[in-house]
Structure 1
Amino acid sequence: MNMIKWTRYLLTGNLIITLGLISLIACFPVLEWIKFTQTQLFFDSITGTANTLVWIALILAAVQIADMSLHRVKGMLNERFSLKIGHKLQEYVLSLVEKTNSITTLESPKYREDLNILNNNISKTSEFINALITIVHQLVVVIIYVYLIQQFSWLVILVVFSFALPSVIYALNVANRNDRHFHANSQLQLEGNNIYGLLTHPYVQKELIIFSSRKFLMKKWKDAAYRLVNNNSKLLIKNANVGIAVDIFSPIGFLVAQMILIQKLMNQSITLGDYIAVTTSIAMLEGSLKTILLSTNIFKNYDLLVKRIKHFHTEYVENNNRKNTVLSCPEIKEMRVSNLSFTYPLQSAAVLRNINLKINKGDVVAIVGDNGSGKSTLAKIVAGLHTVPDGHLFINGIDMNDLDSKEYYTQIAVVNQDFVKYPLTIYENISMNEVGASDKNKLDLFVNKYPMLVPEQLRANMDVYIGADYLHSNQLSGGQWQRIAIARALYKDSPLLLLDEATSEVDPQTEADIVSLLLQDRKGKTTIIVTHNLYLTRQANQIIVMHKGEIMESGTFADLVNKGGKFYRMWASQNEAKMTTVAGMGAG
């Protein structure tokens, strides 16, 4: 999107306010012309009758009142315009993120930095719109004053414009300097914001209190904030020093213009009224020129914004969306991974290597392995959440990259180990959609079927908000939140369900009940379970054992136990730990 298209996008829906501002801008030249002529007349009539002077003074006062009132209205319209533009900008950023169909590049520090830089540039767009309106306003004022002054001396106009040129160079240098500064300090800003978020987040306080970590994090925040403030101060001082040097040119130009006018006054080629009116106009012209020239840096900022948007769109929308998507996604009957290796962006070591895997409709597949073995990454790839090259992931024999990914996602439900705690009602948390009366009836039936998923005390009023974000909302434990996340996935009733450590915060008995019930209800549908609890794998007809990014072994529970390999050792270790715990409890 180029500058013209971007401007048109921002102005869409703001036609009335735009026309109102243009109408106001058209009024200002008339007022300035009246002030000029009446000032000229006032001083030329200084020796005339008192009545004439009073009437001129009243006219000037009325014009001044009108000018102040119009500026007040213009300021109000500018504020409304900024509010609407701000909303539109947030909507646009969300629309960009919504277009991404892969989490591969989104789960990276580079994405956070690029988003931070984009948001910084976007936050200045309302400033650009206001500056653009101001520039148009001041250009009209400049034109009227040039017209008025040229009647007395073109040389004065040339002097004023010549001594204003350094401000243009200053403005452009400031824009480039500020952009380089923000790039250099983006990570520092993110560090300070993240630590501040931790220090104020309600769910983090329990650990900060227990581990007495507040002073430690406070120091880290102060260090980051101090460095950022110090760097920003250096930038401000540098800009101010250059600005002071540039400002010297303006009074020199005004002095030169005055010498020209005084010479004309002494030669009696202009009157005293002319001199005062033109002098006042020069001051106004200089002020308008300075406003325009100092605002020119906003065009540089705007150009940078367009480049940032293009970069973000290319990096996180175009590069992540499958360009050759042409086929509708059929019902998932077979999934096949072929010779797949996978490396996260900005990392050198592969997370997965030479993965070959086949999953048929109705299979219950358990993926197990040590921490960092790649089991969650493999599960997310199967779920289509990571972008992989052509020829490595097939659905019903069709390359995943040839399918409509959005249609594919309609057939999948996921419970992640880092599930999201949405500050919504229970109904909304489960349905993740607008909830009408018929929807509530359907949700009530679902909860009655899986009563262990929603706390009993909340079932009477599932319109209540949950979490600690809003007043009068109900707080839940980690295990209760996880059950809500499971309910959300089960309610979607998808052909493919991925449970990535989905029951890690639930007590063992409830965990066993949930998994048994859902597998019973999902007969004929595909379920993938990523787990450390090897007791759950007994209900799987295929177990995949991951080790250092590779599939070390696979088979049924009986096959792997009889094989005596990696899975057997894991099973024996977990069994021994459980027996030791039981024995210890008995001895107590």
Structure 2
Amino acid sequence: MKLIHPKIFKNTIRDFVLVVFVTIISTYIVTEYIKNTQKLYDTFIAATDYHKSLLILSLFAIIRIFQIILKQYQVYIETRLQLIVSNNIESAFYSSLNPKTITEIETPSFQNDLNTIRYGISTFTQLLLSFISIIQNILLIVIYSFLIINQKWYLLIIIALYSSPNILNEMKLSKFRMQYIENTSDISRQKAMYAEYFTKSEAQKELLIFSMKDYLLSKWLRLTQIVTKLELAHKKKDISSATLVSMLGPLGYMVVQFVLLTDVFNKSLTIGQYMALITTIGMLEGSFISLAPTIGKLKAMNAMKVKLNLFYKKYIDQEYYSETVEEISPINFIEINNLFFKYPHSTNYSLKNINLSINPGDILVIVGENGSGKSTLAKIILGLHGIQNGQLFYNGVDINNIERGKLFSNMSVVTQDYLKYPFPLLENITLEADVKLEMVEEFCARFNYLLPDQKDLISDCLLGIDYEGSRQLSGGQWQRIAIARALYKDSRILVLDEATSAMDPETESKLMKDIVETREKKITIIVSHRLHIALYASKIIVVQNGEIVEHGTHMELMDNKGKYYNMVQSQTYQKEENQDGYRDIQRVI
């Protein structure tokens, strides 16, 4: 993403022109205001023309009223610009966030870096919106300087000497503020997370049942104290630096007053000229003060540009992708060769020496203990994790040579942490606003048991508990909607990661039969602890400590009496104590 992009200025040209026009008029009015200040005071001091004094005073009032009207109009235009530009920048930023994988995204460093980038983008937005103000201040500084030079040229040197440190200080502070945001991002996010638990509807059950509010509050208070201490220390440095620099202003102003009053007493300067110069100098100081923070932000923009480039290089444009992109036809088979994978900042491999072939029509069931690497393997097959060249192939093409968007068009998934979108039911399934209702109706007729109520398809009622009038669903209903969403896409590759954990046995059985029937020539991958699902598999792999320790069909693995056999036995039989000790009884799964 470029900091300056045409999309940022979409629908803003007219408003920018209007603000420039108002700025030019306002600048002209200021010069007239200063000229009339001198005339007014000279007329008052002379006391020779009462009517002329009233005329000048009336002109003053008219100019002032016109200034107020222009100022309020400018505020309105700038507010409109701020809203449009801010929305355009956010839209451009979100549109550009297209990571090829989630490997680096699922790390704390991503959230911290993102927090810094958001601060930088916010600063950049303010800078863009201050652009007109910069032009106005520069114009005013030029005009004020010209007026002062015409009277007392050396005064401009004095003013520049005591105003410049303020600008230099702002340049220094802008960098300091950026570093503060970067250094405190992690702990600030922790504090915000704890605060969210107090109000998040999903958290209230555990807060009440476990009586943990005091415990949570103590954690929040501890972080609040740390953040407050850091904030006050930051402010102390900020204020101390600004105070020292600001003290130069009154000292410089005293020098200017001394020079001007000396000229007044020496009769080389009239009272009107004195008042006009004092007014001009005050306005010049104001322009310098207004310009200083903007120059500081300009300085920070260079550092922001570097950070943004590093952000995109690290999280968006991962280095191991080939510049040569090959077209990928609908995926028919998948090949994994000697796959090794570990997460960022981890020393241990999550997957080791994985070799696997998946063919059209395969229903692959991946089983294993918690933390064995089942879900990680499924995500790699989906293309969600970055891996080295030569380890994963689709139709014989290396994954790193395939454009990720084309790859994902072949994929569909239900993850353990699927999202509950606050959309109407139809949009929750299709993830589109405009759909062919005939296709949806045909799909829903086949999978009607996945819907809370088929009548809701034409309803605009939002699902969830976040908004007024929305409809609350159970965990099982939400899971069915997530499955419906994945099946509706009708992709070549479907991954279900513990997707039936909240589903009743009857519905689960019907779903599996429908998957077998409707996905006859496609690839289906199921990650599950519920081993009876493996009965539907054409191929089963058992993952332990990141390695495939067994593979085959259900009957083959049962005959081997290995890890899979033991897992099935543990789910099929349980121990019952009686007078003779323990005996195995069959469980109903």
Task: State the TM bucket, normalised to the shorter chain.
Answer: over 0.9
Take 1:333 and 1:199, find their aligned partners in 2: how far apart are those partners? 48
Please state if 1:232 is matched with 2:223: no
The equivalent residue for 1:27 is: 25
1:318 partnered with 2:317: yes
Is the 8 Å Cα contact of residues 325 and 404 (structure 1) preserved in structure 2?
no
Question: How many equivalent pairs are there?
Answer: 581
Look up the match of 1:577: 574
Deviation at 1:231, TM superposition (A): 1.4
Aligned-pair distance for 1:103? 1.2
The residue number in structure 2 matching 1:92 is 92
Check 1:294–1:535 CA distance in 2 against 1; reply closer, same or farther (3 A cut). closer
Letter in 1 for 2:443: F
Aligned-partner residue type, residue 496 of structure 2: L
- Equivalent residue, structure 1, for 2:288: 289
Partner of 1:10: 8
Q: What one-letter code is carried by the residue in structure 2 that aligns with 1:484?
A: I
SS of residue paired to 2:503: coil
Q: Which amino acid aligns with 1:535?
A: H
Q: Which residue of 2 aligns with 1:454?
A: 451
Task: State the partner residue of 1:64.
Answer: 64
What SS class does the counterpart of residue 574 from structure 2 fall into? helix
For the pair 1:107 / 2:87, whether they are aligned, the reply is no
Q: How does 1:401-440 map to 2 (within 5 A)?
A: 401-436=400-435, 439-440=436-437
Distance of 1:549 and 1:442 partners within structure 2: 41
Distance 2:373 2:197 in 1: 28
Supply the AA of the counterpart residue of 1:481: W
Q: Distance in 1 between matches of 2:233 and 2:585?
A: 66
Residue 80 of structure 2 aligns to which amino acid in structure 1? R
Match of residue 554 from structure 1: 551
Quick one: distance in 2 between partners of 1:89 and 1:578? Answer: 63
Distance 1:579 1:555 in 2: 32
- Residue identity in the other structure for 2:563: K
User: C-alpha displacement at 1:12, in angstroms?
Assistant: 4.0
Whether 1:274 aligns to 2:273 is: yes
Which amino acid is the alignment partner of residue 256 of structure 1?
A: V
More displaced 10-residue stretch of structure 1: 127-136 or 495-504: 127-136
Partner of 1:361: 360
Identity of matched residues, %: 31
* 2:534 corresponds to which of 528, 533, 537: 537
Distance 2:84 2:459 in 1: 34
Tell me which amino acid in the other structure corresponds to 2:11: G
Contact (CA 8 Å) 1:96, 1:313: kept in 2 or not?
Answer: no
* 1:434 positional shift: 1.7
- Work out the CA distance in 1 between the residues paired with 2:315 and 2:562: 42
In 2, are the aligned partners of 1:102 and 1:320 still within 8 Å (CA)?
A: no
Equivalent of 1:44 in 16, 37, 42? 42
Instruction: State the SS of the aligned residue for 1:577.
Output: strand
State the Cα deviation string for residues 168-219 of structure 1 (Å, max 9, x = none). 2211221122112111210111101111222211122112211112222222
Mapping for residues 458-537 of structure 1, pairs under 5 Å = 459=456, 461-537=458-534
Contact 1:188 1:224 in 2 (8 A): yes
Please state how far the C-alpha of 1:404 moved relative to its aligned partner: 2.5
Q: Does 1:334 align with 2:333?
A: yes
CA contact (8 A) 1:320 1:387 kept: no
In 1, distance between residues paired with 2:584 and 2:143? 92
Shift of 1:320: 6.8
Q: Distance in 2 between the 1:431 and 1:135 partners?
A: 48
The 10-residue stretch of structure 1 (312-321 or 486-495) with the greater mean CA deviation from structure 2? 312-321
In structure 2, give the amino acid aligned to 1:15: I
CA deviation profile, 1:451-502 (whole Å, cap 9, x unmatched)? 2101247547544321112211111111110000110111111121111111
What is the alpha-carbon distance in structure 2 between the residues aligned to residue 300 and residue 515 of structure 1? 60
Contact 1:413 1:489 in 2 (8 A): yes
Q: How far apart are the structure 1 equivalents of 2:478 and 2:432? A: 18
Question: For residues 318 and 567 of structure 1, do their structure 2 counterparts lie closer, same or farther at Cα, with a shift above 3 Å needed?
Answer: same
In structure 2, the CA distance between the partners of 1:92 and 1:50, relative to structure 1 (3 Å rule), is: same
Structure 1 counterpart of 2:264 = 265
Contact 2:366–2:525 (Cα < 8 Å) also in 1: yes
C-alpha distance in structure 2 between counterparts of 1:435 and 1:327, whole Å: 31
Q: After superposition, where does 1:207-218 map in structure 2 within 5 Å?
A: 207-218=206-217
| 1:73-119 deviations in Å (ceiling 9; x for gaps) | 1111221111112211221221122x222111111111111111111
State the match for 1:135 in structure 2: 134
Q: Residue type of the partner of 1:284?
A: M
8 A Cα contact 2:11 2:84, kept in partner: no
Equivalent position amino acid for 2:89 in 1: L
Output the TM-score relative to the length of structure 1. Answer: 0.95
User: In 1, Cα distance between the equivalents of 2:379 and 2:545?
Assistant: 17
| Compared CA separation, residues 577 and 486, structure 1 to 2 (3 A) | farther
| CA distance, structure 2, for counterparts of residue 568 and residue 246 of structure 1 | 78
How many Å separate the matches in 2 of 1:320 and 1:451? 45
Taking structure 2 as the reference length, what is the TM-score of the superposition?
Answer: 0.94
Distance change >3 Å, CA 481–CA 489, structure 1 → 2: same
CA offset digits 1:23-72 (Å, max 9, x no partner): 11111221111111111111211222110000000011111111122111
Say which SS state the counterpart of residue 151 (structure 2) adopts: coil
How big is the shift at 1:563? 0.5
On the 8 A contact 1:368/1:530 being kept in 2, the answer is yes
Query: Once superposed, what is the RMSD of the aligned Cα atoms?
Result: 2.1
Structure-2 separation of matches of 1:250 and 1:10: 38
Partners of 1:364 and 1:460 in 2: CA distance: 30
Relative to 1, partners in 2 of residues 1:530 and 1:325: Cα closer, same or farther, differing over 3 Å?
farther
Which range moves more in the overlay, 535-544 or 217-226?
217-226
CA contact (8 A) 1:362 1:527 kept: yes
- The secondary structure found in structure 2 opposite 1:344 is coil
2:73 matches 1:73: yes
1:547–1:557 CA distance, 2 compared to 1 (3 A): same
